[in-house]
Amino acid sequence: MLIVDDAEFNRDRLKEILGETYDYLEAENGSQVIQMLGENVGIDRMLLDINMSQMNGFDVLKWMNQSQCITETPVIMISSEEPVDTMRKAYDMGITDYIIRPFDPVIVKKRVQNTLH
């Protein structure tokens, strides 16, 4: 699982919530994500923050759609905001789910588990 967030605290919090069930890769920005996807490092799902410097989450989704890897990698978008138009845009770009910060551990676990189905 790839956790993408420019804040190390948020990446650590997600790993703490999800526990040792998963193997984790981490990225701080969208450029790192594209490099990892290009190298085909075996990413089975992704937790992707929207607001990052050096290429935001929507830029990553755009690239994933252009390269057609969005169909192979379930993406759960992460945001501290919940505006309906932002959520619609993310779903239209192919995300699997959407998680709002601050994280609710039960919600995070369930939504990640749901990407298995």
Number of domains in the chain: 1
Q: Is residue 112 part of a domain?
A: no
Q: Is residue 116 part of a domain?
A: no
The pLDDT assigned to 117 comes to 60
The pLDDT assigned to 53 comes to 84
Distance between CA atoms of residues 99 and 117, nearest Å = 18
- 55 by Cβ neighbours in 10 Å (0-12 / 13-18 / 19+) ranks as middle
Walk along the chain (117 residues) in steps of 10 and give the mean pLDDT of each run: 96 96 94 88 90 92 90 92 90 96 95 87
Q: Is residue 18 part of a domain?
A: yes
The pLDDT assigned to 83 comes to 85
Q: Is residue 50 part of a domain?
A: yes
Question: Which one, of 109, 111, 113, lies nearest residue 97 by Cα?
Answer: 111
* Beta carbons of 76 and 47 less than 8 angstroms apart: yes
Q: Where are the beta strands (DSSP E) in 5-100?
A: 25-27, 46-49, 75-79, 97-100
Distance between CA atoms of residues 3 and 77, nearest Å = 10
The pLDDT assigned to 82 comes to 77
Q: Is residue 114 part of a domain?
A: no
Q: What is the CATH number of the domain that holds 7?
A: 3.40.50.2300
